[in-house]
Amino acid sequence: MNSSTPVITFHNIEKNFGSLKVLKGISGEINRGEVVAVIGSSGCGKSTLLRCFNRLEKIDSGHLTVNGINLSHPQFNQKQLRQLRTQVGMVFQQFNLFPHLTVLENLILAPCKVLGKTRKESTQQAGFYLEKVGLFDKASAYPQQLSGGQKQRVAIARSLCMNPQIMLFDEPTSALDPELVGEVLQVMQELATEGMTMVVVTHEMQFAREVAHRVIFMDKGIVAEQGPASEVISNPRSDRLRTFLSRLN
Ligand code: ADP
Ligand code: MG
């Protein structure tokens, strides 16, 4: 489903790290139910943009609204931050599971602590999402007993347990052995089919082409090209995008 209700709008946002200008006035929007792939060379600002969306980074200027929460308002407060963090899930390249907790405990921690759900309710829900990512039988395992692909599927299930409206993925398959990439992409594809709003930083062009509705190509802190996935990937307009795509093959 791809209606055109924007859930993330960003206008002219800038982000600097000291004297390094990383986002140089980026604008765009992500619609409800839309899957957007963000591509571009290492260091062009993809992670920074994604991290601004859930306020792991604070923008220096511009306007940013995520799911109705105005992140550029000077009085943005802790209550809004908590709201934002429950509404926006994020999956990282390195999984970030708690190693000393079982899979189940990883999944129910935030629903219990942050959402105040009972252990019983959280456990039920965790079971549902573990089933969904095909890991129901791993509930009592510890992360170190899992493959990379399984860890990442657990990380996705953990995010889903917060019932997010938006899911951000930062190179979710980049740390995986090639043979484990497919199982993670498949879970993401299912989520997309169910209508989840997703922003996915990825180098998987086949995934971008087949699953993403739109592709944003970033280059040195700006949006250099964007459009329907098939068009942007099959018919790059700029030399930079052509070069970027040819290097991936
Ligand atoms: P990408 O995800 O596209 O590879 P990033 O958004 O991670 O790029 O980084 C963009 C630039 O910002 C890089 O030059 C990186 O070194 C720099 N950068 C990212 N995070 C920080 C930080 N916390 N402090 C200083 N520099 C950073
Ligand atoms: Mg990155």
Q: Is the CB of 17 under 6 A from ligand 1?
A: yes
In-domain check, residue 19: no
Check pocket membership of 46 for ligand 1, CB cut-off 6 A.
Answer: yes
Residues 29 and 10: beta-carbon distance below 8 Å: yes
104 in a structural domain? yes
* The pLDDT value given to residue 42: 96
Give the pTM.
Answer: 0.96
**Chunked mean pLDDT (size 10), the chain, 249 residues:** 80 97 97 97 97 97 97 93 95 96 98 96 98 97 98 98 97 96 97 98 95 96 95 94 90
39 close to ligand 1 (CB < 6 Angstrom): no
**Is residue 135 in some structural domain?**
yes
Count of domains for the chain? 1
Question: Checking DSSP bridges between strand 214-219 and strand 35-39, what pairing results, if any?
Answer: parallel
CB 44 less than 6 A from any atom of ligand 1: yes
What pLDDT is stored for residue 248 in this prediction? 86
Amino acid in the structure at residue 215: V
| Conformation bin of residue 93: beta by default, left when phi > 0, alpha when psi is -120 to 50 | alpha
- 43 alpha carbon, closest ligand: 1
First-to-last alpha carbon distance for the chain, in angstroms, is 31
The single-letter code of the amino acid at 133 is V
- How many Å lie between the centroid of ligand 2 and the Cα of residue 228? 22
- Structural domain containing residue 130: 96-163
Asked, for residue 47, whether it belongs to a domain, the answer is: no
* Token pair 């456990």: residue: 123
In a domain, 185, yes or no: no
| 122 is a domain residue | yes
ipTM of the complex model: 0.98
132 assigned to some structural domain:
yes
Residue 205 tokens, joined = 């062009």
In a domain, 170, yes or no: no
* All residues at 6 or more sequence positions from 202 whose CB lies less than 8 Å from its CB, including other chains: 37, 38, 39, 169, 171, 172, 173, 208
